[in-house]
Structure 1
Amino acid sequence: MTSTHFDSRRIGPPLRDHYDVIVIGGGISGAQIARHAAGRGLRTVMFEAKDYSSGTSSTTSKMIHGGLRYLEQYDFGVVQEAVKERRYLGIAAPHLVAPRSFMLTAFEWSEPKAPVLGAGVALYETMAWQRNQGQSKENHSPRFRWIPKNALLKEVPWLDPEGLKGAWRHDDTLNLHAERLLLAIIKSFAADGGTAINHAKVTRILRNVEEGRVRGVEVTDQITKNTTEIYAPVVINAAGPWVAQALGDLAEVTKLKVRQSKGVHLLTGDLGSQSGVFVRGKNGKHVIVNPWMGRTLIGPTDTMIDGDADDAVADESDIDLLLETIDSVRATPLDRKNIISTLVGVRPLVDDGSDTYTSSRRFDIADHANVGIDGLVSVSGGKWTTSRVMGYKVIEHVVEHQAAMLPPLRHFDSRQLPLTTSFGAYDSVADSFESALRSHPELDLDDEIRVHLARLYGTEHEKVLDLVAKQPDLGRRLDPANLDIAAQVVFAVAEEAAVDLADVLDRRLVLGTLGYVKPAAVRATAEVMAQVTGWSNTLIDARCHSYLASQDKIQAVLKPYR
């Protein structure tokens, strides 16, 4: 009976009753842990209470970065590790990451002064001396250099010229579509035999009190509300800001302490620069101004919060802080009408006693055997860039401490291993895209749509094109101003476990990540979903209304600024 549960939302083999490892959480932390467990040959299942990337993993600055500002906090270990991991992600999925130049600005009034900033950038790049090894040509980054004031203003025309000295230019990496990169990692996990289930909430961790160890989890299907038990000698809790909540009645026993930091970004129209800008405002706060997909992200804030991470929203104080910071370094205040939307995420930080802004981005492995729950491990902290090495270290910890409970293992080294959907041995990303342009020549699709699909899906773009070949009408755009097509919606539901409109629009397509989605595009998406799900017109109306209402809540906080 268990194997039939969750089948419509399964990526990977059918669900079974018993596993070696159960992973709670389908964000980037859970996905990388699960991937490394399956890579080592462990029978692994991963449960996500909502949808993949629906939490912190999608609400980022769209960067894979070494964490230059952590040098200011003397967090050299985190930076050293991160610059290595940045390179490995570029090797794993070069079609989904790209180099991005950042300007580290220096004003007469700003601290540290330009020479000190330059020394920090030099140290940063020294740590990343191998940054181009194994990378595709497009992902090679040049050495850092000083950009004087006049040249800087040509590249970043909105900067305030008064007191501006110039900027140190260095390269980090752009995370082009975090949601699709995370899905590619999950598919690599599934290719190694792992099973991922979304909209499946772990409602209880099962343990044998007499033996003093975990024995599995109780999982509730969030759609049908059916409940089932899945058994394993190891349970890894990687639920991000919900890590304590996932422990349920064991939270008090484990005494796990995690701090929550709310990060808010403003999403605006194009501000006219190709390079990102890393700047400290006159209020002492940092912001990253990052051009992305014809939009610009400004942020993040870093504010300690309490309570349920589900309740975190952007409020006027968040927006005011970002506007105060960015306006203090602009020639003219940011046009408030240019603000499209906000992004809100909650970071789970290791509780080291510092404020959230200076709290370390390291990760922490808490083994609850020390409180009599052997086989239960919780993971907190970390970030996108270092998620791979975190997954590796968590599984190495489990293998070391649970060897008696696990089967024989195989070697698995993911450092320079492409994801299963990444293109093969092309000299460059451009070459792989050129190959994609020649696929299905009979289809009447614009080249820019073909490249769009190759960028997002890697080798699986062929599957999307197959759908168009079978049903040419699926080649139509969902919105005239966007490259997403109807076939992507069918693929999202049939192959990628998408259940509702937000799953598709916000986390499988590009459309919903770019801000407010027009009602006509929402309706068009719902009608295509109905072809697969069998939704009635009444249900289509209800789903559209719910999605538009959630958009309206996000837009409501912006009304005072327009």
Structure 2
Amino acid sequence: MKREITALENRTFDAVIIGAGIYGTLVAWRLAKAGYQVAIVEKGDFCAATSANSLKILHGGLRYLQHLDFKRMRESIKSRREIMSFAPHLVMPLPCLVPTIGRGMRSRLIMKSAFLANDLIGRDRNLGLAREKQLPPGRIMGRAEIKKIMPDLSRREITGGAVWYDGLAVNTERIALEYLLTACDYGAAAANYIRVDRIVTKDGGVTGITATDLLAGTPLAIRADRVINCAGPWFAELLRASGLPAPRVRWAKAVNLVVRKQISDTCAVGLESRAGDRDMDAVVKRGGRLYFFVPWKGLMMIGTTYHRFEQAPDRVRATREDLLTILEEANSLYPSLRLEYGDICFFHCGLVPMADKQEDEPGTVQLAKHPLVIDHADTGGPAGLVSLCGIKYTTAPTIAGKVLRLLGGEKSPPAARKTAGISRPPSPGRPVSLAAERLAALHDRYGHRAVRVAEYIGASRDGERWLCRQPDLQAGEVVYFIREEMAETLADVVLRRSGLGDAGSPGRDVLQRIAEVMAAELSWDTTRKEREVAAVEGRYYPLVLPG
């Protein structure tokens, strides 16, 4: 995958996709695989905004039972299965546990009934998955068993626990990147750091986009018969900048924590918060909103809080107060955690759409339950323009399929399409000679691309040099990110290619070593290296960083 701007300007595409989060990359993959000539551009780095900020649970829609929304459940189950099948090295089964209480909606009987319905609706949830990736049916456990998992659970009314299984995305950014890389294997053209300035229309239809290359500071134009607007929280803003009608969407700021302590290292735990659940559309009402405590990389994610956000999307930030709010709630729900501010090593902050019929009561947030898929020709807008506003990472495959159908389905028969891997560039160096254990570790991160990464590591003595041991990163991996995954900044490598910094800062020494490798590849001077290190450290504000 190369950042070739002339390739974007010198042809007319079947479709240009704006935005390379999980929705944009999945649409690119789906269309390219179906025979479309596709371009995809992103104003920042790939999967650097909303799609990178979540609890990383690929859920099957069990919660939708309270709405009796079986269609959404089916969409979630099928989408989860598709992601787990596409990137099995990046997703693992995750047991999820909630305590059962009394005889109400959290009782053993009600949860057992819910699991029976969930397992019936999701009877094909494991179709095509390897045995080690398959999700067992839900089950009910007794009080003694849940006390083994959560020995400090003190509420007397707890009767046991309910366990179901979802998928845990080990690295959400690399899942999106893998869809993008595979789209490029099928012939798509991609570029990051391209800001779309305007969707261009003529005679009632779209003709492409005008944009700015933020790295070169130069304008460019991309011609296309269709434009797919997957710009996330910026999608309506872009429509208005293009002189086109835009729906009114209100946003909520979503925040999660990553901390150094765990309730359990084997399962996610959902505990009911003191704040009531404001879901006005639920057929079956429940009590408080659930906070989830999710084991991940030897750490624990906690979330999620939602607060109305009225500013421009570029201004969204997590504040110290946001982090303290979650910390206080977590300590209230499970006091023996005794979390302190210094236990926080990372956080996620992004925007999610709120429901149209939102109460104006201060402090209340009800999230949207259905994604927007707008064919603008149906509402008097230009033909060939489709806008998306997703609500869940998990359901991106379903929405990408809808976009393909809107565009008319598959364009060429499977036998006539390019197959993945045909655009493979020459080998960078000597044959792979890494230890089996190291190759296995690379496979866990890169899947079938691990052999290619290993070639870069083995290309020279410097490629084998360790930049960090825990988590592990070698210089050859960084060169691979630059040459074949379009890493342009230190943050691209640390936060989105390697996963080195997505659970806390690796420290200034490590950042400087990585910056030295990038400087040799990208001709950075000392000032640029210092600026890159400072930018990565700024991502952890307002946390206290290690030296």
Q: What TM-score do the two structures reach when normalised by structure 2?
A: 0.88
Is 1:514 equivalent to 2:522 in the alignment? no
Match of 1:343 in 2: 348
Is 1:201 equivalent to 2:229 in the alignment? no
Match of 1:366 in 2: 374
Please, which runs of 5 or more residues in structure 2 have no aligned partner? 276-287, 422-429
- For residue 31 of structure 2, give the secondary structure of its aligned residue in structure 1: helix
Q: Aligned letter for 1:410?
A: S
Offset of residue 114 of structure 1: 3.5
Is 1:390 equivalent to 2:394 in the alignment? no
Match of 1:425 in 2: none
> Does the C-alpha gap of structure 1 residues 412 and 84 become closer, same or farther in structure 2, counting only changes over 3 Å?
farther
Q: 2:259 aligns with which of 244, 249, 268?
A: 268
Question: Among the aligned pairs, what percent are the same residue?
Answer: 28
Offset of residue 381 of structure 1: 2.4
Match of 1:424 in 2: none
Q: Aligned letter for 2:542?
A: I
Stretches of 4+ moved more than 6 A in 1? 11-14
Q: What TM-score do the two structures reach when normalised by structure 1?
A: 0.85
Measured against aligned partners, the alpha-carbon deviations of 1:170-218 in whole angstroms (never above 9, x if no partner) come to 111111111111111001111211111110011111111xx12211100
User: Aligned partners of 2:263 and 2:530: how far apart in 1?
Assistant: 39
Q: Matches of residues 224-303 of structure 1 in structure 2 within 5 Å?
A: 224-250=216-242, 253-273=244-264, 274-283=266-275, 284-303=288-307
Q: 2:13 aligns with which of 19, 33, 46?
A: 19
User: Aligned partners of 1:36 and 1:12: how far apart in 2?
Assistant: 24
Q: 1:254 touches 1:368 (CA, 8 Å); kept in 2?
A: no
Match of 1:554 in 2: 542
Q: Aligned letter for 2:216?
A: T
> Does the C-alpha gap of structure 1 residues 377 and 354 become closer, same or farther in structure 2, counting only changes over 3 Å?
farther
Offset of residue 304 of structure 1: 2.6
Kindly tell me the number of residue pairs found equivalent between the two proteins. 517
Moved more, 132-141 or 158-167: 158-167
Q: 2:528 aligns with which of 536, 539, 560?
A: 539
- For residue 83 of structure 2, give the secondary structure of its aligned residue in structure 1: helix
- For residue 291 of structure 1, give the secondary structure of its aligned residue in structure 2: strand
User: Aligned partners of 1:534 and 1:228: how far apart in 2?
Assistant: 24
Q: 2:354 touches 2:366 (CA, 8 Å); kept in 1?
A: no
Match of 2:147 in 1: 153
Moved more, 111-120 or 524-533: 111-120
Q: Aligned letter for 1:501?
A: L
Measured against aligned partners, the alpha-carbon deviations of 1:362-417 in whole angstroms (never above 9, x if no partner) come to 222112222342221111123221111211111211227xxxxxxx812569xxxx
Match of 1:450 in 2: 439
User: Aligned partners of 2:466 and 2:183: how far apart in 1?
Assistant: 31
Match of 1:127 in 2: 121
Please, which runs of 5 or more residues in structure 1 have no aligned partner? 1-6, 401-407, 414-418, 422-438
> Does the C-alpha gap of structure 1 residues 34 and 152 become closer, same or farther in structure 2, counting only changes over 3 Å?
same
Moved more, 281-290 or 20-29: 281-290
User: Aligned partners of 2:440 and 2:104: how far apart in 1?
Assistant: 42
User: Aligned partners of 1:503 and 1:122: how far apart in 2?
Assistant: 44
Q: Aligned letter for 2:403?
A: V
User: Aligned partners of 1:528 and 1:109: how far apart in 2?
Assistant: 61
Is 1:83 equivalent to 2:77 in the alignment? yes
Q: 2:385 aligns with which of 372, 376, 382?
A: 376
Measured against aligned partners, the alpha-carbon deviations of 1:62-103 in whole angstroms (never above 9, x if no partner) come to 111113223223333211210122112222121111111110
Bigger proportion of residues as helix: 1
User: Aligned partners of 2:154 and 2:104: how far apart in 1?
Assistant: 13
Offset of residue 262 of structure 1: 1.5
Q: 2:355 touches 2:366 (CA, 8 Å); kept in 1?
A: no
What is the aligned-residue RMSD (CA, Å)? 2.8
Q: 2:432 touches 2:451 (CA, 8 Å); kept in 1?
A: no
